[in-house]
Structure 1
Amino acid sequence: MADSPPISGNFNYPTTYRIGAGRVVELAASCRELGIERPLVVTDPGVAALPFFAAILERLAAAGLAAKVFSAIDPNPAVAHVEAGVAEAKAHAADGCVLIGGGSALDVGKCIALLVRNPGGVLDYEDRGENWKRADGARILPVIAIPTTAGTGSEVGRAAVILDPSDHAKKIVFHPRLQPRLVLADPELTLGLPPRLTAATGLDAFAHCFEAYCAPAYHPMADGIALEGMRLIAANLPRAFEHGGDVAARTHLLMAAAMGATAFQKGLGLIHALSHPVGGVTGLHHGTANAIFQPYVMVHNREAIEARMPRLAQALELEATGGTRTAGLGGVRGPSGRSSDRNAFDAVLEWFLALRRRLGLPESLEGLLAPEQIPALVPMVLADPSLETNPKTCSAAEIERVLCKSIAGDLIP
């Protein structure tokens, strides 16, 4: 059988998005397209040390672009990282930002672009009320995003997540024009991603799609995007995890990550409301935290989300009685009913648990979070904006219970 043709595409939804192997070579031309001559290149220390990053800088210099690198970023970026980047951008007289990396670099870079020409600090733009109106959107620097992981989808997002050192809580920063103007999604930049990070970022993207799909708002476009994103992850995450050089699988995962971040404009939920503060307190990778919390939150939300599971089970090609993938879309068909909803929920839950085991990610917070830390976390969860669109309301006692079960590894309702 002939090899499949390379995957490549140009989209203008939700922003200008160009995907395909080798597309990073278009960066210099893309900068000129947006009028960027003095880019601040924002990345993390790991990416900055890779050969492909040096090649990117060489191409920018050859094109006559005066690039400056800022890489002082941690995996859970805080206010200080943004402040340092803003100072670097101003000193360089940057007229745009090129963001190369995973969610941390992309989030910090977007905040830098927001603040270089706008007043105040990054937390002045926390996603509450109309804080975003404090900024003049026309003064946000143009941004080009080049993701090197397939998880957060920050490359197409209008928000960023930044750690507030005053309370160790992750705060969501938002502006409608925080979204990068152009994305170059090159799967070749993700081929060296270690299996564990491939797994964690992939399940981060899955959590975005899942929570968006289950959010109670009316948004059929987001639902369709989320379902297809989950299908792509189910089909391609095991392949990329076990065969890191599979360019097609890596391409599909990049696309799924962008789809998740596009879909979650509909809303997120308790998974993210938990993982934000737990990640801030423990330093746990965001995708790993989402992967741990997902089944416990599914069980908690079961009554509110069961009716949505037959369509998801079909998209994942599951049998209604278990989490085994099938060749077609059979298994969860026929007339809608409570029994079929329950069967579909069980199938999706079993499938997720099996996938997480296959990927070798933790099944609980045992050894990662101590029970005595829970009382301080509960109010942080209640204050997280993601909780507002959880399909089921949550009391402080219920959140404490989910956290306790996540430590104990107890999925019994």
Structure 2
Amino acid sequence: MLCRHYHLVGEGCDSAFTVDTSRITFGRGCLAEVGDRAKALGMKRVALFSDERMARLEHFQKVRQSLSAAGLDVAVYTDVHVEPTDQSFLEAARFASEARPDGYISLGGGSVIDTCKGANLYATYPADFLAYVNVPVGQGRAVPGPLKPHIACPTTSGTGSEVTGITIFDLLSLKAKTGIAALALRPTEALIDPDCTATLPSEVVAASGLDVLSHALESYTARPYVRRPAPARPSLRPMSQGANPWSDLGCREALRLMGLYLERGVADAQDHEAREQLMWAATLAGIAFGNAGVHAPHGMAYAVAGLVRDFHPSGYPQGEPLVPHGMSVIVNAPAVFRYTAEVSPERHLEAAEWLGADVRGAAPADAGEVLARKLIQIMRTVGMPNGLGGVGYTEADLIPLTEGAYPQQRLLQNAPREMSRPVLTELFRQALRYW
């Protein structure tokens, strides 16, 4: 039975939703299956995408050995840029064009998986770079046809990129992140091996885990699919459909697991139960937001990451300034959910309770504050910066941040309340400091 959130279809709005996901294999040790899986998909020459750090770990050698045992020819690319850019996408696509693989394997976090998606797209259907990029930043051109098969092997419990048709990058000319969203980008298969998270620094587990948390929270509170304008043709129904009964299932369980295991997984790398459950939560939230879409915290995050000046987080490769994706999302979240709660206070309170908040006696008018307080408590416990100010932003940055976020209409239009420029500016102001 559909929940009360969906029983009335708005005039001119959609009355159905679609569920898509990659084929998923989940479990300890499943990384060793990659060779057999690739061969079963008809691959003979594969492009293996990873990064320099991962290439030194046993997980990379396990993948190489599995591919070799299956008799596959392998071309290796490990020059993936942490938080990829349009330039790094083009370099990866150039490699793929020269290697001419008939299939792709990605082993790494979201940066690796997204770079592999981009390389597969531009090597298969060459075009001006902005051709496929989301409007209004790019042209939003449809992908002409199917891509080469892609097996994604995530090594962080965060982005969910292994099950979505979305790839994100930093557009250097805009100084903000944007992306490409297309069903064709969704990996063919995902091999999700929790053993890969055992070596992750606690800072990476915290940031990637908070990305998972926000995926689930944003999808659960997104504009309902019955409030989204109906597409001109059913085949044009977007992936960011809005909250729906299918996405709700994954969001609820992902939030419950985050409430139980995030702090444990950050505190102790030897807590294998916690890290495995975080990996499963990431999978569930990835499937959910891949069919519902996220909204304002992610849209605002693209500006936060793109305009960074001199922030260098511990636990990540040192060098150029960087605000890790999950961190750039969560610093906006408390301010956003205080604002959106009035549209669906029951959903905001439910989410707060799943995360571990005591909601006894809370009235609908309290929902935004209850959820924001719980998010802030989690941020402090796992060592996140104190809002935007903690990653180097001040009042003087409010307008540039707004202008960087406003073009992210694919995300902002999925929010349950209007996200105009004045609203974004005020939300960024409220996000400057939380404690």
So what's the TM-score if we normalise by structure 2? 0.83
- Equivalent residue number for residue 362 of structure 1: 385
- Equivalent residue number for residue 4 of structure 1: none
- Do the aligned partners of 1:237 and 1:249 also contact (CA within 8 Å) in 2? yes
* Superposed counterparts of 1:253-332, under 5 Å: 253-264=278-289, 265-282=291-308, 283-320=322-359, 331=360
- Equivalent residue number for residue 387 of structure 1: 412
- Equivalent residue number for residue 119 of structure 1: 126
Per-residue CA distance 1:343-381 (angstroms, 9 max, x = gap):
454443332222111101112222522433332221221
- Do the aligned partners of 2:402 and 2:425 also contact (CA within 8 Å) in 1? yes
For 2:430 and 2:141, how far apart are their aligned partners in 1?
40
Query: Shift of the alpha carbon at 1:81?
Result: 1.3
* Superposed counterparts of 1:36-55, under 5 Å: 36-55=43-62
- Equivalent residue number for residue 246 of structure 1: 271
More displaced stretch, 163-172 vs 31-40 = 163-172
Q: Residue 378 of structure 1 aligns to which amino acid in structure 2? A: T
Pick closer, same or farther for the CA change 1:223–1:368 going to 2, 3 Å. Answer: same
Q: Residue 195 of structure 1 aligns to which amino acid in structure 2? A: S
Per-residue CA distance 1:49-104 (angstroms, 9 max, x = gap):
22321232133223321111112122220112111112212222211110111111
For 1:26 and 1:318, how far apart are their aligned partners in 2?
40
For 1:63 and 1:222, how far apart are their aligned partners in 2?
36
For 2:280 and 2:385, how far apart are their aligned partners in 1?
25
For 2:366 and 2:50, how far apart are their aligned partners in 1?
45
Secondary structure of residue in 2 paired with 1:373: helix
For 1:349 and 1:377, how far apart are their aligned partners in 2?
21
Secondary structure of residue in 1 paired with 2:343: helix
- Do the aligned partners of 1:119 and 1:135 also contact (CA within 8 Å) in 2? no
> Which of 218, 225, 231 lines up with 2:250 in the alignment?
225
Correspondence 1:406 to 2:406: no
For 1:359 and 1:376, how far apart are their aligned partners in 2?
29
Query: Shift of the alpha carbon at 1:132?
Result: 5.8
> Which of 136, 152, 163 lines up with 2:144 in the alignment?
136
Query: Shift of the alpha carbon at 1:141?
Result: 1.2
Query: Shift of the alpha carbon at 1:319?
Result: 2.0
More displaced stretch, 235-244 vs 119-128 = 119-128
For 1:22 and 1:47, how far apart are their aligned partners in 2?
17
For 1:93 and 1:216, how far apart are their aligned partners in 2?
42
Structure 2: which 5+ residue stretches go unaligned? 1-18, 226-243, 309-321
Q: Which has the higher contact order (CA 8 A, sep 6+)?
A: 2
Q: Residue 69 of structure 2 aligns to which amino acid in structure 1? A: A
What RMSD in Å do the two structures reach over aligned CA positions?
2.1
Pick closer, same or farther for the CA change 1:121–1:235 going to 2, 3 Å. Answer: farther
Secondary structure of residue in 1 paired with 2:44: coil
- Do the aligned partners of 2:265 and 2:271 also contact (CA within 8 Å) in 1? yes
- Equivalent residue number for residue 231 of structure 2: none
So what's the TM-score if we normalise by structure 1? 0.87
- Do the aligned partners of 1:310 and 1:340 also contact (CA within 8 Å) in 2? no
- Do the aligned partners of 2:158 and 2:212 also contact (CA within 8 Å) in 1? yes
Q: How many residues are matched?
A: 382
Query: Shift of the alpha carbon at 1:383?
Result: 1.2
Q: Residue 312 of structure 1 aligns to which amino acid in structure 2? A: A
The percentage of aligned residue pairs carrying the same residue is 26
For 1:410 and 1:63, how far apart are their aligned partners in 2?
53
Query: Shift of the alpha carbon at 1:176?
Result: 0.9
> Which of 365, 383, 398 lines up with 1:374 in the alignment?
398
- Do the aligned partners of 2:376 and 2:434 also contact (CA within 8 Å) in 1? no
Secondary structure of residue in 2 paired with 1:150: coil
> Which of 4, 15, 26 lines up with 1:19 in the alignment?
26
Pick closer, same or farther for the CA change 1:349–1:114 going to 2, 3 Å. Answer: same
Correspondence 1:234 to 2:254: no
For 1:29 and 1:105, how far apart are their aligned partners in 2?
21
Secondary structure of residue in 2 paired with 1:88: helix
Per-residue CA distance 1:187-240 (angstroms, 9 max, x = gap):
101111100110000000111110110112131211222111111111111221
- Equivalent residue number for residue 75 of structure 2: 68
Q: Residue 228 of structure 1 aligns to which amino acid in structure 2? A: E
Secondary structure of residue in 2 paired with 1:45: coil
For 1:313 and 1:159, how far apart are their aligned partners in 2?
27
Per-residue CA distance 1:122-164 (angstroms, 9 max, x = gap):
43111339966542222x1110000000111000011100111
Correspondence 1:196 to 2:219: no
Query: Shift of the alpha carbon at 1:13?
Result: 6.6
Structure 1: which 5+ residue stretches go unaligned? 1-11, 321-330, 333-338
Per-residue CA distance 1:28-48 (angstroms, 9 max, x = gap):
001101111111111122112
- Equivalent residue number for residue 3 of structure 2: none
